[in-house]
Amino acid sequence: MKHETQVATLKTLLDLRETGRDQKMLGEVVQIPVRNYTDEGILDREMTTVFRNYPMVAGHASHVREPGAYLRSDWDRFPFIVVRGRDGALRAFLNVCRHRGARLCTGREDRLKAVVCPFHGWVYDLDGSLRSITKAYDFPDLDVSRFGLTELPVREHMGLIWIHPTPGASLDPAAYLGEIGQDMEHFDIAGLVSFRKNIVTRKANWKLLLKTYLEGYHVPFLHRDTIAKVFRKGVIAHLEQGPHIRLAAARANILDALEADSASWRILDYASVYYSLFPNAFFIMHPDYVSINIFYPEAPDRTIWTHEMLYRPADFEGEEGQAALRKRFEYTNDVVFDLEDFAVAEDVQTCLRYGGNDYHTLGLEEGLLALFQRNVDQALTGTV
């Protein structure tokens, strides 16, 4: 985030503390049909649009710096691997054997020298070409060149690996992110490394989970004993860029900014910054680390949630540094997200089964949920 944007955002937050709400969010009470969270047909349509037509974050680039290093999808509905070839090029493939469709890379491999199918042993090079067939004489006249792995568009941008779920699609993450991407670059995600990644299945719709991050209305209640004291109640500014949303939430100390010259303001000293990158990634910029949350639907009421914490090695050195990181991760992941945000989202999902509401009613502070839902709805019809 450029310094001038940081200053402008903090000024917006300081103004908003008077009214306590961002009028631009939506400006009206809206209702969202709850079938968005329960309907198989809607998820099927999301799978063929929302999760087919847009670039997605595959992971942090530090995982694929060396030849043979790879990233593997956490999601069976979209099984891919991204691998750094011996020639230094980054490639992505569907993690599916071209013989009889077995899953190739299991995730247990440390580095890949080649991709060997566990079923009948066909071997693929890291460039995706089929190198050898077990008992090749059993496949007379097979044109090996037609049985390379299915390649997917992949790009490294901003320290992240981006993938497009549709073979042959054009992939330009910078253009996709627009101004929000330039904004994020200032956080130097490329200079970070991974501390830990948590992968769990939660019993709630992917949008329901993600939406818990899009409003501050719940914070003083749900997080009353944890993070509520860190924030200034309900003071959140946002920016929309295409289907992406940036949020900035004022911290309790925001008035201290008034004591300092704005030339010295750094946004993370007085606010938390979040990016909802369409469709399913949510980034949290903490003062000393970054959280990447990604949501992958398994069923209308089941979602794989991955949470990876990235940090700058110079900020957390030695045993003490690692212990501090562990503490932060456990607090954020295990307590705030797991026991508070997503536990309540699961409760909501459970209650949906028993009726009571055909709609969820969103107040003025919850407008971003409606904006996010609008973006999903537009993606379903191909208008985003």
Minimum CB distance to Fe ion, residue 337 (Å): 8
Query: Whole-angstrom Cα distance, residue 340 to residue 219?
Result: 10
Minimum CB distance to Fe ion, residue 14 (Å): 23
Pairing of strands 193-202, 231-241: unpaired
How many residues belong to the chain? 384
Residue 47, token pair as written in the block: 């799978």
Smaller CB separation from Fe ion, 341 or 366: 341
363 phi and psi, to 5 degrees? -85, 180
Minimum CB distance to ligand FES, residue 215 (Å): 46
Closest CA to 170 of 320, 55, 332: 55
Query: If contact means CB under 5 to 8 A according to the sort of partner, which of Fe ion, ligand FES, none does residue 122 touch?
Result: ligand FES
Among 25, 34, 97, 208, binds ligand FES (CB under 6 A): 97
Minimum CB distance to ligand FES, residue 166 (Å): 23
Query: Whole-angstrom Cα distance, residue 361 to residue 190?
Result: 39
For position 139 contacting ligand FES by CB under 6 A, the verdict is: no
For position 99 contacting ligand FES by CB under 6 A, the verdict is: yes
Query: If contact means CB under 5 to 8 A according to the sort of partner, which of ligand FES, Fe ion, none does residue 139 touch?
Result: none
- Torsion, Cα 361 363 365 371, to 10 degrees, reads 50
Quick check: 99 and 116 in contact, CB under 8 A? no
* Candidates 104-112, 231-239, 251-259, 341-349; binding stretch for Fe ion (CB under 5 A): 341-349
3-state class (DSSP) for residue 373:
helix
For position 46 contacting Fe ion by CB under 5 A, the verdict is: no
Minimum CB distance to ligand FES, residue 134 (Å): 7
For position 47 contacting ligand FES by CB under 6 A, the verdict is: no
Query: If contact means CB under 5 to 8 A according to the sort of partner, which of ligand FES, Fe ion, none does residue 22 touch?
Result: none
Phi-psi region of 275 (alpha: psi -120 to 50; beta: other; left: phi over 0): beta
Query: Whole-angstrom Cα distance, residue 158 to residue 174?
Result: 9
Residue 317, token pair as written in the block: 């050195």
For position 215 contacting Fe ion by CB under 5 A, the verdict is: no
Tell me, by CB under 6 A, how many residues bind ligand FES.
10
Query: Whole-angstrom Cα distance, residue 188 to residue 158?
Result: 7
Query: If contact means CB under 5 to 8 A according to the sort of partner, which of ligand FES, Fe ion, none does residue 224 touch?
Result: none
Strand partners, 2: none
Q: Residues 187 to 216: which contact ligand FES by CB under 6 A?
A: none
Minimum CB distance to ligand FES, residue 141 (Å): 18
Among 7, 8, 47, 102, binds ligand FES (CB under 6 A): 102
Quick check: 206 and 296 in contact, CB under 8 A? yes
Q: Is the peptide bond before 297 cis (omega within 30 degrees of 0)?
A: no
Strand partners, 289: 311
For position 117 contacting ligand FES by CB under 6 A, the verdict is: yes
For position 265 contacting ligand FES by CB under 6 A, the verdict is: no
Query: Whole-angstrom Cα distance, residue 342 to residue 348?
Result: 10
For position 312 contacting ligand FES by CB under 6 A, the verdict is: no
* Candidates 60-68, 120-128, 173-181, 251-259; binding stretch for ligand FES (CB under 6 A): 120-128
Query: If contact means CB under 5 to 8 A according to the sort of partner, which of Fe ion, ligand FES, none does residue 295 touch?
Result: none
Among 22, 341, 365, 366, binds Fe ion (CB under 5 A): 341
CA distances from 31 to 16, 26, 34, 221, 344 (A): 25, 12, 9, 22, 19
* Candidates 35-43, 98-106, 174-182, 327-335; binding stretch for ligand FES (CB under 6 A): 98-106
Query: If contact means CB under 5 to 8 A according to the sort of partner, which of Fe ion, ligand FES, none does residue 341 touch?
Result: Fe ion
User: Buried b vs exposed e over 229-238: b needs ≥16 C-beta within 10 Å?
Assistant: eebbebbbbb
Residue 53, token pair as written in the block: 């037509």
Query: If contact means CB under 5 to 8 A according to the sort of partner, which of ligand FES, Fe ion, none does residue 126 touch?
Result: none
Among 11, 52, 109, 119, binds ligand FES (CB under 6 A): 119
Minimum CB distance to Fe ion, residue 284 (Å): 11
* Residues of this chain that bind ligand FES (CB under 6 A): 97, 99-102, 117, 119-122
* Residues of this chain that bind Fe ion (CB under 5 A): 341
